[in-house]
Chains A and B, each alone.
Chain A
Amino acid sequence: MSNAQKHWEKTRSLLFVTLAIWFVFSIGIFLFAAEMNEVTGPFGYPWTYWFTCQGSLGIFVILCFWFANRQEKIDEEFGFNEREDG
């Protein structure tokens, strides 16, 4: 396998992992919204409510950073990085 192919392989699996996490926290958990809302979660709010206001959003922000960092590492590993602009 060529260098570019290996790079794409890794990039693609990172992409799918990221999208899977995105799916779980934007759609997945809300399929059980009614049940989850019965249970009290952080700060005394129902779980669904908390996830809509803070939980999912926070996870998305962290996910963004994590994804960008991982991608940067993959690019570096195969010599595709473009970090010269700082």
Chain B
Amino acid sequence: MIKGKFIDNLPKVYGIYTGGFIGFIILMAIGEQMGMTAKAIGVAFVAFTIFIYALIGYLSRTAQADAYYVAGRQVPTVFNGMATAADWMSGASFVAMAGGIYFKGYGYMALLVGWTGGYILVATLLAPYLRKFGCYTVPDFVGTRYGGNAARLLAVIVLTVASFTYVTAQINATGTIASVALDIPFQYAVYVGLVSILLCSMLGGMRGVTWTQVAQYIVLIIAYNHNYYCKITALSAQDKAQMYAGAVEEQEVSYDSEQTVDFQDVDLLQSHGINVADIKKLKGAGICTIKGILMTTAKKLCNIKGLSEAKVEKIKDVCKTLCDSGFVTAFEVSERRKSIFKISTGNFWF
């Protein structure tokens, strides 16, 4: 009953949704001004998204194989593209890949090429024939095309192995987000995340997933472009905006910057109001980490050419607020290191 009407009204439905999402962001911004804590905002965000996704999942619940596996082959091209794009930008790339590149550098960027180039292979070699054969899944297609259960089994094995790395990263991202937002330990948060995913996808199958993905696409595209926009303004409007972009970037790259800040390099100070020239001077003197600054005496810092006493004081203050704990035991450090690794790469293969 929803289907026919829903398909016809797609742009309108998602237009209302986008407006609602932007309204929600504004509401949160007002809430923040009125003293809402960061934690409450985080919880509200997660609750809002899960509610929307669960609602979509519930509304598109179905028991028909055709609707469950291929959304009844009724999704218009552009919306299908949006759903596919959301797959590209999902948890594994938003959290795990960004983290991987951040920590391991250039080598990880090969993932970008494979990730995107894979779409060409799917589009040319797999998708058209899957469709022509009227199959629902890849093993289904391989079994039909090459005949017999041996080929089918092989396809299942290849698919499982290939998606294992991806799913590991995805589930890790889910757990991380749930644990940050709900403030519970990672090992429980993973299950909370998984249950909400099941809730959203089991009822509606591919139909539910496609419509949630379109919803997610809108959220992601706003988030990515917001970041991009900040960078553009940073380039044109000099220092202040640059600091802002730096801060946004820092948030994007990793959830755990708060915990690991004492191992970060001094560039982080840029997002806390220290200008680039001063950071360069620090680097020139061989001080490249926040901890390094704390370990160096104020007198020595003053000796660096071009750093006044007032500036040194300011830098020291920022560093102190960044890592307020002073000294940490080696055990604590190793604990932190563990958590960094888990969260950032999200994938034990690398």
Q: Which residues of A contact B76 (CB under 8 A)?
A: 85-86
Does any Cβ of A come within 8 Å of B124's Cβ? yes
Whether the pair B113, A15 counts as a contact (CB closer than 8 A) is no
Does any Cβ of A come within 8 Å of B34's Cβ? no
Please, which residue of chain B has its CB at the minimum distance from the CB of A19?
B124
A49 to B58, CA, bound (A): 45
Q: Which residues of A contact B106 (CB under 8 A)?
A: 49, 52
Kindly list 20 other residue pairs between chains A and B, CB separation below 8 angstroms, not including A18-B120, A56-B113, A86-B76: A15-B124, A15-B125, A19-B124, A19-B125, A22-B124, A26-B114, A52-B106, A53-B112, A56-B116, A57-B113, A57-B116, A60-B117, A63-B120, A64-B123, A67-B123, A67-B124, A68-B123, A71-B128, A85-B73, A85-B76
A68 to B120, CA, bound (A): 10
- Which residue among B73, B106, B117 has the maximum number of chain A CB atoms within 10 Å of its CB? B117
Does any Cβ of B come within 8 Å of A31's Cβ? no
> How many interface residues does chain A have, given as a range?
20 to 34
> CB-CB contacts of B105-117 with A at 8 A, as 1s and 0s?
0100110111011
Whether the pair A60, B128 counts as a contact (CB closer than 8 A) is no
Give how many B residues have a beta carbon under 8 Å from the other chain's beta carbons: 19
A67 to B121, CA, bound (A): 11
B residues 203-241 in Cβ contact with A at 8 Å: none
A78 to B220, CA, bound (A): 40
Residues of B within 8 A of A (CB): 73-74, 76-77, 106, 109-110, 112-114, 116-117, 119-121, 123-125, 128
Question: What's the minimum C-beta distance from A65 to chain B, rounded to whole angstroms?
Answer: 10
Whether the pair B109, A53 counts as a contact (CB closer than 8 A) is yes
A69 to B143, CA, bound (A): 29
Please, which residue of chain B has its CB at the minimum distance from the CB of A54?
B112
Given contacts A71-B128, A85-B74, A86-B76, contact A56 B123 (CB under 8 A): no
> CB-CB contacts of A4-44 with B at 8 A, as 1s and 0s?
00000000000100110010011000100000000000000
A63 to B124, CA, bound (A): 11
A-B pairs with the 4 shortest C-beta distances?
A26-B117, A22-B120, A52-B109, A57-B116
Whether the pair B116, A18 counts as a contact (CB closer than 8 A) is no
Cβ 8 A contact of B112, one of A52, A61, A67, A71? A52
Given contacts A15-B124, A49-B106, A86-B76, contact A60 B119 (CB under 8 A): yes
Please, which residue of chain A has its CB at the minimum distance from the CB of B74?
A85
Question: What's the minimum C-beta distance from A31 to chain B, rounded to whole angstroms?
Answer: 13
Cβ 8 A contact of A64, one of B109, B110, B119? B119
A63 to B125, CA, bound (A): 14
Please, which residue of chain A has its CB at the minimum distance from the CB of B114?
A26
Question: What's the minimum C-beta distance from A78 to chain B, rounded to whole angstroms?
Answer: 14
Q: Which residues of A contact B112 (CB under 8 A)?
A: 52-53, 57
Interface pairs (21), CB distance under 8 Å: A15-B125, A19-B121, A19-B124, A19-B125, A22-B117, A25-B117, A26-B114, A30-B113, A52-B109, A53-B112, A56-B116, A56-B117, A60-B116, A60-B117, A61-B116, A64-B119, A67-B123, A71-B128, A85-B74, A85-B76, A86-B77
A49 to B112, CA, bound (A): 12
Q: Which residues of B contact A71 (CB under 8 A)?
A: 128
A22 to B122, CA, bound (A): 12
Given contacts A71-B128, A85-B74, A85-B76, contact A52 B123 (CB under 8 A): no
Please, which residue of chain B has its CB at the minimum distance from the CB of A86?
B76
Q: Which residues of A contact B119 (CB under 8 A)?
A: 60, 64
Q: Which residues of B contact A22 (CB under 8 A)?
A: 117, 120-121, 124
